[in-house]
């Protein structure tokens, strides 16, 4: 991915997205903007995860419109998910914040992300928990901030997503 991004390989456009922490923008691998330092770069398998991590689309490579234009309601959903890692998300909450019905939301997530919207939220919560732990936060605290009421439930979900228990990451 690093290589594809460094040589602006457009064959990889849509296969992953590049978040640039120093600018808060996410790009296509082919973006011709000045190459950021690698330590400021994070890779995402899809736009939705990049947006949920707080990145905005790039005006230069139009990353927000590739391969298609994102529905407007999706931004509200992703922003809510990002700001509410500890919330009990329900489908009725989702329809309450968008003008579309649950069938449309479910279909979008299934087609673009391969999971239900609630499963995507759970994935984001674990990504956030992992970031917290990697930045030195105790895993019980990370579990709490991501809405897990029991540490065993958190350990189980975390191990399922990452193949190792959360304590393994920072030795606690």
Q: Which residues are catalytic?
A: 27, 31, 58, 61
Residue from 27, 53, 129, 132 in contact with Zn ion (CB under 5 A): 27
Of the candidate residues 4, 31, 81, 94, the single one contacting Zn ion (CB under 5 A): 31
Shortest CA distance to 121 belongs to which of 35, 129, 42, 17?
129
CA-closest candidate to residue 148, choices 125, 120, 116, 124: 125
Using alpha carbons, list the distances in angstroms from residue 73 to 105, 106, 155. 9, 13, 33
**31 vs 127, beta carbon nearer Zn ion:** 31
User: β-pairing, 25-27 with 17-20?
Assistant: antiparallel
> Judged by CB under 5 A, does residue 20 bind Zn ion?
no
Pairing mode, if any, of strands 41-44 and 25-27? unpaired
Q: How far apart are CB 127 and Zn ion at their closest, in Å? A: 22
Size of the site for Zn ion (CB under 5 A): 6
Site for Zn ion, residues 43 to 62, rule: CB under 5 A? 58, 60-61
Residues 72-111 interacting with Zn ion (rule: CB under 5 A): none
Pairing of strands 25-27, 56-57: parallel
Question: Please, what is the minimum distance in Å from the beta carbon of residue 57 to Zn ion?
Answer: 8
Q: How far is the CB of 77 from Zn ion (least distance, A)?
A: 23
């Amino acid at each position: 991915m690093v290589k594809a991004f460094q040589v602006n390989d457009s064959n990889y456009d849509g296969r992953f997205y590049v978040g640039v922490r120093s600018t808060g923008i996410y790009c296509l691998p082919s973006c011709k903007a000045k190459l950021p330092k690698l330590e400021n770069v994070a890779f995402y398998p899809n736009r939705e995860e990049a947006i949920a991590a707080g990145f905005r689309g790039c005006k230069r490579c139009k990353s927000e419109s590739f391969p298609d234009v994102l529905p407007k309601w999706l931004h509200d959903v992703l922003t809510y998910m990002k700001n509410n890692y500890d919330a009990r998300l329900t489908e009725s909450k989702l329809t309450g914040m968008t003008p579309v019905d649950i069938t449309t939301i479910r279909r979008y997530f299934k087609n673009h992300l391969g999971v239900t919207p609630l499963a995507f939220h759970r994935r984001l919560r674990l990504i956030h928990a992992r970031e917290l732990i990697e930045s030195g936060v105790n895993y019980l605290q990370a579990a709490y901030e991501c809405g897990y009421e029991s540490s065993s439930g958190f350990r189980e979900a975390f191990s399922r997503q990452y193949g190792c228990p959360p304590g393994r990451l920072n030795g606690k």
